[in-house]
Chain A
Amino acid sequence: AQKVTQAQTEISVVEKEDVTLDCVYETRDTTYYLFWYKQPPSGELVFLIRRNSFDEQNEISGRYSWNFQKSTSSFNFTITASQVVDSAVYFCALSEAASGGSNYKLTFGKGTLLTVNP
Chain B
Amino acid sequence: GAVVSQHPSWVICKSGTSVKIECRSLDFQATTMFWYRQFPKQSLMLMATSNEGSKATYEQGVEKDKFLINHASLTLSTLTVTSAHPEDSSFYICSATRRNNQPQHFGDGTRLSIL
Would A111 and B34 count as touching, CB distance under 8 A?
no
At the interface with chain A, which of B11-19, B69-77, B103-111? B103-111
Q: What is the interface residue range for chain A against chain B?
A: 20 to 34
Tell me the dominant secondary structure on chain B's binding face.
Answer: strand
Other 9 A-B pairs with CB < 8 A, given A97-B100, A105-B49, A110-B43: A33-B101, A35-B103, A44-B107, A103-B49, A104-B97, A106-B95, A106-B104, A108-B43, A108-B45
Minimum distance in angstroms from B96 CB to a CB of chain A: 12
Binary flags per residue of A36-72, CB closer than 8 Å to B gives 1, else 0:
0100001111110010000000000000000000000
A102 within 8 A of B: yes
Residue positions of B touching A, CB distance < 8 A: 32, 34, 42-46, 49, 51, 57, 91, 93, 95, 97, 100-101, 103-109, 111
Residue positions of A touching B, CB distance < 8 A: 33, 35, 37, 42-47, 50, 91, 95, 97-98, 101-111
